[in-house]
Chains A and B, each alone.
Chain A
Amino acid sequence: MARIEEGLEVSTLARPRGDLARLPWVSFFIIALLVVVAVLAPLVAPHSPTEQSLPDKLRPPAWQEGGSANHLLGTDVLGRDVLSRLIYGARVSLIVAAAALLAGGGVGLMVGIVSGYVGGRVDSFLMRVVDATLTFPTILIALLLAVSMGQGLQTIAIAITVLIWARFARVVRGEVLSVKARDFVALARVHGCSHPRIMAIHIVPNVMNTFMVLLTLHIGFVIIVEASLSFLGAGIPPPTPSWGQMVADGRSHIASAWWLAVVPGAAIVLVVLAFNLFGDWLRDWLDPRLRQV
């Protein structure tokens, strides 16, 4: 008997180790780098992001002819260090992403759970609100909000929140509908569980996987929206550096000083890609059925 039990433990009962081997290391590294750099911006940035030095203007990156090690990624039209601006810009991107996702994701999760679980008229009403929200053209509404509330970090976060909650609500609701129909929810009722308790211990944990994945996949989206708004001039007011703003400023010099638009553009692409790959991995890792394979 003891032997059989040992066998069981090894083959089927071993705690899933978490599939760290398949962690997308490149994405993970990019994300980690982004976070560290954003948090420690004043320490790692070689220059002030706003300090102008006209004699040094439009220096190319260090590896090109005319570049200097003092400005690794070159300087812009006002002689500001591109690398330092990129580093400080990461802060903006991360703060906006975190704020908008916490607020928008949180609201969306709650609306989705209530809508899916309660059903009936409440569901119809909430889903019509979601439909209406989703019909808003993203950038237009964000522009409108930015214009009416004034530019700034807060405005951008609020605008993105308003736009994003409905996507979460919609997906979470669908997931709740499928979880709700399973027998363990019925059995929880049979065993005397109240509705709020069922939502808390049976519904929420079962939609959490989907929610977390949705969250990571939307980090990229939020960063792009923030960059687009800044690009359009409705984002973070200058001189605070933001990646979208940097791309916008560099656009007019693309022929002569390519690095002004390409460097922040590449940063956006890399970070968004990294978060998306990370999201894919997270989805597999969070699912207890896929985890052990």
Chain B
Amino acid sequence: MALAPVVLEVKDLHAYLYTRWGVVRAVDGVSFALREGETLGLVGESGCGKTMTGLSVLRLLPEPAGRIVRGQVLLEGEDLVTKSESEMREVRGRRISMILQDPQTSLNPVFTVGAQLVEALKLHHREPAHALWRRAEDALRRVKVAAPEQRMRAYPHQMSGGMKQRVVGAIAVAGEPRVLIADEPTTALDVTIQLQYLTLLKEIQARTRLAMLFITHDFGIVARMCDRVAVMYAGRIVESGPTRALFRAPRHPYTEALMASVPRMEASVERLPSIEGQPPPLHELPAGCRFAARCGHADDRCRREYPPTFPAGPAHEAACWRVEPSAPSR
């Protein structure tokens, strides 16, 4: 099977936040590639730079503190980092879109759902109002909202969270984007609704060959949704690979520790293993491996030198000295 073409490629991206307390290196050399119709899961604990990575792809870092310092974001070969703000507006929504975590605040409370869908469609289609309205209704139907004709006239507060998040999804794909960045889209939904929503995203993806960057901290969702996974720690991707391979044989100690801390149905444990300590603050990062302070395998070299990314299997790589091909197995 030939590989689908790469839609989005991020190369050595550095995005820093210049704050009163110093430079926060939120994204510090992140690289990944996203193919058509593929879902890449970006996992990691809170504050490790997942969301910032998503926002820097769209060049929507918080202003005025955030800045992309180095690196490239290639969308179908075009570098977005060098684009002007007005060129970026053409990209946003039309070629890359995003869904955020909280459906409660993702919709404007003073307009009906229909008006907001039409507003989003208007940016991409030059059509008379009634045609846009029809199109919006179709969009609602496609995200499986019951009775779309009536829902069009409803205000966001008259809908449930799951319903609202569907509408947000409909708005996000209204411009028929090539890439969808989903930033924990199901965190605020309850479990049964989560499943429905994820299935829906999968269906949309199958229909449109959308490339999805799925930001989450839930391994269950990763297993269900993602073709590949990238694990982020303190601003960098420490391990990435096909979901199955990475789940079966995590190579980076951080990934291992994360997996170990997921509760399992089969085994009953007294106490879940947890990762001791805190990630290093992003404005004063250590010179060596950032996980060294919490890692059971760390030695002097780990603390001194940041490990490069080593191949760890087919399409699988990890940034850990233990994976170095010539390394003596420890």
Chain A residues at the B interface, C-beta cutoff of 8 Å: 4-5, 8-9, 12-13, 15, 120, 182-184, 186-187, 189-194, 201-202, 205-206, 208-209, 288-289, 292
What DSSP secondary structure best describes chain B's contact surface? loop
Interchain CB contact (< 8 A) of B89 among A4, A186, A187, A192: A192
Please measure, in the bound complex, the distance between the C-alpha atom of A227 and the C-alpha atom of B109, giving whole angstroms: 40
Interchain CB contact (< 8 A) of A194 among B89, B100, B108, B158: B89
Given A8-B150, A288-B109, residue A187 in contact with residue B123 (CB < 8 A)? no
Given A192-B93, A202-B108, residue A186 in contact with residue B151 (CB < 8 A)? no
A190 touches B93 (CB 8 A): yes
Please indicate the chain A residues that have their CB under 8 angstroms from the CB of B107 in the complex.
184
B120 touches A191 (CB 8 A): yes
Q: In chain A, what residue has the closest Cβ to B101?
A: A183
A183 touches B109 (CB 8 A): no
Residues B108-129 near A (CB distance < 8 A): 108-111, 119-120, 123
Please indicate the chain A residues that have their CB under 8 angstroms from the CB of B135 in the complex.
none
Interchain CB contact (< 8 A) of B105 among A4, A9, A183, A191: A183
Closest chain B CB from A124 CB (angstroms):
13
Closest chain A CB from B235 CB (angstroms):
21
Residues B57-109 near A (CB distance < 8 A): 58, 60, 64, 89-94, 97-98, 100-102, 105-109
A289 touches B109 (CB 8 A): yes
B150 touches A191 (CB 8 A): no
Is B154 positioned at the interface, with any CB of A under 8 Å from its CB? yes
Please measure, in the bound complex, the distance between the C-alpha atom of A187 and the C-alpha atom of B97, giving whole angstroms: 9
Closest chain A CB from B120 CB (angstroms):
6
A and B contact pairs by CB, cutoff 8 A, 23 listed: A5-B150, A9-B147, A13-B150, A13-B151, A13-B154, A120-B64, A183-B102, A183-B105, A184-B107, A187-B106, A190-B93, A190-B97, A191-B93, A191-B174, A192-B89, A192-B90, A192-B93, A193-B89, A205-B108, A206-B108, A208-B110, A209-B110, A288-B155
A189 touches B60 (CB 8 A): yes
Please measure, in the bound complex, the distance between the C-alpha atom of A180 and the C-alpha atom of B154, giving whole angstroms: 23
Closest chain A CB from B252 CB (angstroms):
31
B100 touches A186 (CB 8 A): yes
| Max chain A Cβ within 10 angstroms of own Cβ: one of B89, B100, B102, B110 | B110
Is B224 positioned at the interface, with any CB of A under 8 Å from its CB? no
Closest chain B CB from A38 CB (angstroms):
33
B89 touches A184 (CB 8 A): no
Please measure, in the bound complex, the distance between the C-alpha atom of A209 and the C-alpha atom of B108, giving whole angstroms: 14
Given A5-B147, A206-B108, residue A12 in contact with residue B154 (CB < 8 A)? yes
Please measure, in the bound complex, the distance between the C-alpha atom of A210 and the C-alpha atom of B100, giving whole angstroms: 27
Q: In chain B, what residue has the closest Cβ to A186?
A: B100
Closest chain B CB from A228 CB (angstroms):
37
Please indicate the chain B residues that have their CB under 8 angstroms from the CB of A205 in the complex.
108, 110-111
Given A120-B64, A206-B109, residue A192 in contact with residue B153 (CB < 8 A)? no
Closest chain A CB from B239 CB (angstroms):
28
Please measure, in the bound complex, the distance between the C-alpha atom of A202 and the C-alpha atom of B115, giving whole angstroms: 12
B154 touches A206 (CB 8 A): no
Please indicate the chain B residues that have their CB under 8 angstroms from the CB of A201 in the complex.
119
6 closest A-B pairs by beta carbon, nearest first, are A191-B93, A192-B93, A192-B92, A182-B105, A183-B105, A190-B98
Residues B270-287 near A (CB distance < 8 A): none
B150 touches A183 (CB 8 A): no
Closest chain B CB from A225 CB (angstroms):
32
Closest chain A CB from B148 CB (angstroms):
10
B158 touches A187 (CB 8 A): no
**What 14 additional pairs, Cβ within 8 angstroms, besides A187-B98, A292-B158?**
A4-B147, A5-B146, A13-B150, A13-B158, A182-B105, A183-B101, A184-B107, A189-B60, A190-B58, A190-B60, A191-B120, A205-B110, A205-B111, A209-B110
